[in-house]
Amino acid sequence: MHLFLDPAVRYARALSECIQKEPGALELGELQALMLDWIEGRATGLSQELGRKLSRKLKFKGKVYALSDFRTLAKVYGYMLSGLAALAQRSGRRGLLLLLDETELFSSLGKEARAQAAIVFRVLIAAALPAGGEESLDLGDVEGGGHGAIRNLPPRFGKVSHLALCLAATPGSASEDFLRNTLGDKRVLELLPMMRKDFVLLSQRIRALYARAYPETPPRALSALEDKVDSWLSRGLPGSPREFGRKVVDFLDFCRHTHLDFAG
């Protein structure tokens, strides 16, 4: 049983059933909004009030725990995210992939904040790795934090992790050094610069996604993109994939909205 997610799922189901029976009940609507605020972390100090109201209105009884709002409790978030990954796996997915971009900003933190960030990274990494054996990560020096049941939470939910973690960092940054020291070189992949064929492939994938998102896009506009990309790349490789991707989407947007397509 997951300390946070099980009550959330059970209460959500029970509340949904009540709303179906009483669709116009104002109290139920307000209770649902309050519960969503709790789930999404939009407000603090909700757990006790929410717990009382839910227990009074619904048949299901269960304690609603609060996440700390004044500090980062690394183990709690490792436990929470690996729990969400387990839910995703139960729903027919392979699990949950967590992407953390621009982790090189780690370098700009002060000494204390950087130490705390390193703990968060280590816990999330450990939650995604096997629980035991050579590939596991020792967190014996990481404190639990919080109070009561929250203080004793493990850094991961369950023995088998369905959480995958990808941290992106600029080469040569302190974040890269941390990742190499923590994970070893074999788990740190350096992305090579994109070549012409890579940009062509990127444009094709964007075009396919665009056609699915906007099926009304004129077929000739989609076809014109190939010649347009060839024209762009003949002038040299783009400065970045993001810049190129934006250019592709801008071209398709222009064609779709003006009903014109340009190949030159």
Is the residue at 62 inside a domain? no
What are the pLDDT tens digits along the chain (264 aa)? Answer: 888 888 888 888 888 888 888 887 888 888 888 877 777 766 555 667 777 777 777 776 677 776 665 566 888 889 989 999 999 999 999 999 999 888 878 778 888 888 888 888 888 988 998 877 777 778 877 776 667 777 788 888 988 889 999 988 878 777 788 788 877 888 888 888 899 999 999 999 999 999 999 998 888 888 889 999 999 999 999 988 999 999 999 999 998 887 654 444
Question: Is the Cβ–Cβ distance between 81 and 156 less than 8 Å?
Answer: no
Write out the chain in H/E/C secondary structure: CCCCHHHHHHHHHHHHHHHHHCCCCHHHHHHHHHHHHHHHCCCCCCHHHHHHHHHHHCCCCCCCCCCCCCCCCHHHHHHHHHHHHHHHHHCCCCCEEEEECCHHHHHHCCHHHHHHHHHHHHHHHHHHCCCCCCCCCCCCCCCCCCCHHHHCCCCCCCCCCCEEEEECCCCCCHHHHHHHHHHCHHHCCCCCCCCHHHHHHHHHHHHHHHHHHCCCCCHHHHHHHHHHHHHHHCCCCCCCHHHHHHHHHHHHHHHHHHCCCCCC
Given this model, what pLDDT does residue 68 score?
60
Given this model, what pLDDT does residue 71 score?
60
Give the end of a domain, one of 32, 57, 82: 57
Give me the number of domains the chain comprises. Answer: 3
Given this model, what pLDDT does residue 28 score?
83
Residue 110 and residue 173 in one domain: yes
Residue 122 and residue 172 in one domain: yes
163: containing domain = 74-187
Given this model, what pLDDT does residue 261 score?
46
Locus of tokens 């009940």: 25
